[in-house]
Structure 1
Amino acid sequence: MPFKRPRPNPTQGGPNSESSSSRPLPAKQTKTSTAKGLPDMKIYIVQAKLDAESIATLTGLAERHSGVCRNAEDAEVLITAVSMRRRLERHVPWEIAKTKAVVTPQWLRDSIEHGGPLPCDDYVAIGDLHETTVQHCPDCNCKPCGCSDDSPSPTPPTSPRPRTAELSSSPTSLSAASVPEPAERAVYVPENLLPPDPPIPTKLETLDYTSRYACQRPAPLVCVNQSLVRELDTIRHSRWLEGEDRSALSYERAASVIKAYPHKIRSLAQVVKLPFIGTKIGGLIEQYLNTGTILEAETIKGSERFQTLSLFASIYGIGPSTARRLYDLNLRTLEDLEIYYGVERDDVGRQSQIVEVEEKPQHPRWMRGQRAADDGLGDSWIRVALGLREDLAKRIPRAEVEEMGRVVITELNDLKPGCVSTIVGGYRRGKRESNDVDIVFTHPDASKVKGLCKSLVRRLHERGMVTHVMHLSSFHTHDPLRLHHWDNLEKALTVFILPPTSPFYDGTRRRLDLIFASPEVYWTAVIGWTGSIMFQRDIRQWAKDKLGMKFDSSGITRRYDSKEFYPKTEKEVFELFGLQWVDPTWRNADL
């Protein structure tokens, strides 16, 4: 923090003056000190958050020692007490601010006292402008300065520095710079890429459990009507396995509404007016209230077909249509699948594959005919998943999820210091155990993100931590019509094993998905990959219905002109859509 000298009265040198009481004001200095300390420099003073006395004093200093501009566009240096981007934008266009050195008033005082412009690094006013301020700082672009051989290099007073990448108190967010590293490798990370500290609370009273949109309903991990939700979800799962997507969605929506209902359901009258509870589902709820079960759900659970299709679909790479095709071939067990696919389990365990697979674009729905027979990743990866099925079926405790995140970010730090990451998926929504681990990464410098996913995967593969890569894709060009099946982020879906040095190492292989997003879409990627499925689906629907926008993990686009929007934080995504903030632990709109 710079030493704050008492500010004497402009005429008496009292405690309210802008300059030090230990020396006279610039106007009263001796002749040897009246030369301009910042000759030929143009300064613009942003008056926001400055009182009249401070404005007058700063203006006087600038007029005596440099030059004062009336327009920010004409200045080289912008002096401001504002520390937030939004407030600065009320007074200076952001595009102009990015071409200037934007510093605090203390820079002007200390530079004048020093006799020349000081480096701006310690005086940056807006964290998001750190790099551009340092780039445009006039410290050594000016004529004579303190760099000459016969004068010692000045040591500028220290100021509070903007936050660099650091380990968040929240275990879901990690940064590469949280691992100790040489000082010369420290990378500045803007505040907006770090999680809010303290976390933003959810104001439950502002949310509406009767809304048609899951993104407006608070859905806990476990609700007071959980057993009813499970019964409905069994019917939904059966419809999904049979390819009856519209029916499956109806049950999914009904279960999502009940998940958010805050009271124990004891009569049908409580829920008949809730959205998506029609006559049929209302009848099923009434049956459950009378008997404690839903007959159709119990019948489905006892069905050999349902049990077999569910078993097949639990194998990574096998979707509903592939499961039905295998069932129609009279296959009934995983051992049958091993024979069908020619799986040698010992061989699969010893194999180590790293293959780049680009997701093929799909046509829009109106151009699609019948679904392809195989909706998975292909036979080769089904063989891998079958061979590793015992490991991949094991649930991952939260502590191990965090350890995986720590190990990966440590390796990433060696490749590209300054990356930040958030563990997403069910872990971020509060689940005690996860089926797999999803991590979203970015870097403050967008140019350094491209290709980083492949570099990290190869590094982990070389170190024996990634044994198989089931999908590895690059960034795609922006696709405002969303014609592709997936988002256009760079990602790798891998099989991961912790190193023997980890306290959690037991040789178990885990599913680990690595997702890389450019910094401007980092938080949309985090929201999309956090889920839940219904929550994300309804955010997309809300954006379309209410705002005419398209939303997915790749970004936000206005439909009629494809204009892109780049919210700086996760909360700003909600604000852009006119939604109340919902913490991830209240986004469990699915079972």
Structure 2
Amino acid sequence: MPFKRPAPIPHQGSESGESSPSRPPPAKQQKSSMQKALPDITVYIVQAKLDVGAIAELFELAERHTKGACRNAMDADVIITAIGMRRRLERHVPWDIAETKAVVTPAWLRDSVDHGRALPCGDYVAIQDLLETTVEHCPDCNCKPCACSDGDSEAATPRFEAKQLPSPLSSPSISVKQRAMSTSTKKEEKKPVLPKPVPEHLLPPDPPIPTNLAKLDYMSRYACQRASPLVCPNQALVRELDIIRRSRDLEGEARSALSYERAVSIIKAYPHEIRSLKQVEKLPFIGVKITGLIEEFLDTGKITEAQTINASERFQTLSLFSSIYGIGPSTAIRLYNLGLRSLNDLEVYYGVEPEDVALQSQIVEVEEKPRKPAWQRGQHKGDEGLGDSWTRVALGLREDLAKKISRAEVEEMGRVVMRELEELEPGCVSTIVGGYRRGKAESNDVDIVFTHPDPSKVKGLCKRLVRKLHERGMVTHVMHLSNFHAHNALRTHHWDSLEKALTVFIMPPSSPFHTGVRRRLDLIFAVPDVYWTAVIGWTGSIMFQRDIRQWAKDKHGMKFDSSGITRRYDSKEFFPKTEKEVFDLLGLEWVEPKWRNADL
């Protein structure tokens, strides 16, 4: 679990600021109180067997005299613990991680601060089984030459270099500040400054990694283990079942809708045309009710229930209303029960006037709420509770937003946005995600994930880009604008914590695709460490992502979403360097985006 920082305890020293008489400082400690005694060391404090006062003292010492106390043991140079038994320590720190760190008692930190330097860890080892590895990984001054005792603190070189473990996953131990300092140092050494190449791990592989279809199992209960093509051999059957699924969803019958969604997903992955019930009787998620529907389809080429639903006024009206951004199933039902049946009725009800669209053409930042990302909006178009103002705007834009976007135009939108972003912050990379990436010929909207090799340049970049596009007349409306939030392993909803803007976009006059038609454009920004989880999350499809989350939870005790991968029991974060490494980390066979169409 992440550490909980208790309230600091009062300083025990005298009014003159001298140290407590119980532990007088040595004569060597004559340095300014502003200088850190252990500036290059990061510690991880295990709170077990420590009282509140001791925890507060250790965190205060870490903040004042070290690089800081980190949230994960893997990121630390030194692990501080009062535990003396291996089995007890393993409850808080995996043993394989403890063997790569110096594991010491709290006295090491106190005495090192008193002496103004890192003391040898062997004298303070917490668990005798870790004596050799603690001495080996100890960052004390006696291990390497240093200038910490010559009194010239400004000219002193670092006492040690933090050791990094070889791993296919990038370690978060290198902070944003360190990267920025490293970058600035290189710029001073080499003049003139040349543009840095984009790191290879932020670029897609060339050629793309093929999927080994033989290793995927169409009988798996998880869509992330199946190959689901855009158009399957049983597409007509899938369409019939999906009508019933959409009806259940619009009526608020979530459990029933999920049952049909799973059935559609398993049939999408079935590699042969279904000609008899024997082919489907052993497939998962195909129950008695759906088996009967399949049997009817095999006999007649249609499903009566689906045909009846599709022809009903209620289904057509609810589908029409829920296609408007800001109107979800419950609002659509309420409007239907009020007697509304057409978009003209909605315009009268909401009081839509021609000038309403122009009045709303401005950047508006709305409160962050748990909502579904772009790849989920095929299930619930829009969100409840956005307010009548956005519903009026969406109604005014409905004709434009209902038009499909060709792949060529999607790519042109990506180029236009990247040109503007390059002027704003050179060196960014991006991936167009959503249905486009899964191979769809036309899209309802465009989703683009961005990052920059320097994490410090990503924060706030989304808002800057949106403002620039708005000033250039390309972004006419912003329906959602949010900042980064910490990745939370305990979060129950799946609206990620990335920085994003959901906008209405219009091509500039210089573009060959400039027609004056407004398009939905979602801009998503991620730091480089979670770039590929963001790309996977926003690529979709809905069921594919749902089952990745379920697989990560069931098989590995992890939480997966667009903003990262976290181990649930201790909130440890993992940072895969490539898209395939996400699959490798979760123990999944690689599935190309074109095989992730687990929904209609």
Question: What TM-score does the superposition give when structure 1 sets the normalisation length?
Answer: 0.69
Instruction: Map residues 92-491 of structure 1 onto 2, 5 A cutoff.
Output: 184=193, 186-349=195-358, 351-360=360-369, 375-483=384-492, 486-491=495-500
Equivalent residues of 1:185, 1:417 under 8 A apart: no
Q: Structure 1: which 5+ runs fail to align?
A: 1-69, 77-87, 100-128, 141-146, 148-152, 154-182, 363-372
Q: Structure 2: which 5+ runs fail to align?
A: 1-135, 146-163, 372-381
- How far has the Cα of 1:563 moved from its partner? 1.1
Provide the residue aligned with 2:555 in structure 1.
546
- How far has the Cα of 1:188 moved from its partner? 3.4
Partner residue of 2:515 out of 506, 509, 516: 506
- How far has the Cα of 1:252 moved from its partner? 0.3
1:161-220 residue CA offsets vs partner (Å, 9 max, x unmatched): xxxxxxxxxxxxxxxxxxxxxx84623321111111111001101100010000000000
1:127-175 residue CA offsets vs partner (Å, 9 max, x unmatched): xx998887788x97xxxxxx9xxxxx9xxxxxxxxxxxxxxxxxxxxxx
- How far has the Cα of 1:553 moved from its partner? 0.6
- How far has the Cα of 1:94 moved from its partner? 8.4
Describe the shift of the 1:286–1:444 C-alpha distance in structure 2 as closer, same or farther (beyond 3 A): same
Instruction: Map residues 84-99 of structure 1 onto 2, 5 A cutoff.
Output: 89-90=165-166
Provide the residue aligned with 2:544 in structure 1.
535
Equivalent residues of 2:462, 2:501 under 8 A apart: yes
| Structure 2 counterpart of 1:402, one-letter code | E
- How far has the Cα of 1:478 moved from its partner? 2.6
Provide the residue aligned with 2:132 in structure 1.
none
- The 3-state SS of whatever aligns with 2:581 is helix
- The 3-state SS of whatever aligns with 2:264 is helix
Structure 1 runs, 4 residues or longer, greater than 6 Å off: 70-76, 91-99, 129-137
Q: What CA distance in whole angstroms lies between the structure 1 residues aligned with 2:319 and 2:171? A: 54
Q: What CA distance in whole angstroms lies between the structure 1 residues aligned with 2:202 and 2:167? A: 24
- How far has the Cα of 1:96 moved from its partner? 13
| Structure 2 counterpart of 1:245, one-letter code | A
Q: What CA distance in whole angstroms lies between the structure 1 residues aligned with 2:370 and 2:406? A: 35
1:519 corresponds to 2:528: yes
RMSD (Å) for aligned C-alpha atoms: 3.0
Q: What CA distance in whole angstroms lies between the structure 2 residues aligned with 1:211 and 1:92? A: 27
Equivalent residues of 1:349, 1:387 under 8 A apart: no
- How far has the Cα of 1:559 moved from its partner? 1.2
How much identity, in percent, do the aligned residues show?
74
Partner residue of 2:583 out of 574, 581, 584: 574
- How far has the Cα of 1:375 moved from its partner? 1.5
- How far has the Cα of 1:316 moved from its partner? 1.3
Q: What CA distance in whole angstroms lies between the structure 2 residues aligned with 1:96 and 1:71? A: 19
1:268-309 residue CA offsets vs partner (Å, 9 max, x unmatched): 100110000111101100000000001100010011100000
| Structure 2 counterpart of 1:525, one-letter code | A
- The 3-state SS of whatever aligns with 1:510 is strand
Equivalent residues of 1:420, 1:441 under 8 A apart: yes
- How far has the Cα of 1:454 moved from its partner? 0.4
Equivalent residues of 2:481, 2:500 under 8 A apart: yes
Partner residue of 2:593 out of 569, 575, 584: 584
1:544-572 residue CA offsets vs partner (Å, 9 max, x unmatched): 11011111111111111111111111100
| Structure 1 counterpart of 2:285, one-letter code | F
- The 3-state SS of whatever aligns with 2:531 is helix
Describe the shift of the 1:93–1:244 C-alpha distance in structure 2 as closer, same or farther (beyond 3 A): closer
Q: What CA distance in whole angstroms lies between the structure 2 residues aligned with 1:444 and 1:325? A: 48
- How far has the Cα of 1:378 moved from its partner? 1.9
Describe the shift of the 1:75–1:262 C-alpha distance in structure 2 as closer, same or farther (beyond 3 A): farther
Describe the shift of the 1:281–1:423 C-alpha distance in structure 2 as closer, same or farther (beyond 3 A): same
Instruction: Map residues 7-156 of structure 1 onto 2, 5 A cutoff.
Output: 89-90=165-166
- The 3-state SS of whatever aligns with 1:511 is strand
After the TM superposition, which of the residue ranges 250-259 and 313-322 deviates more from structure 2?
Answer: 313-322
Provide the residue aligned with 2:113 in structure 1.
none
- The 3-state SS of whatever aligns with 2:478 is strand
- The 3-state SS of whatever aligns with 1:522 is helix
| Structure 2 counterpart of 1:450, one-letter code | K
- The 3-state SS of whatever aligns with 2:503 is strand
Question: What TM-score does the superposition give when structure 2 sets the normalisation length?
Answer: 0.68
| Structure 2 counterpart of 1:514, one-letter code | L
Q: What CA distance in whole angstroms lies between the structure 2 residues aligned with 1:488 and 1:191? A: 25
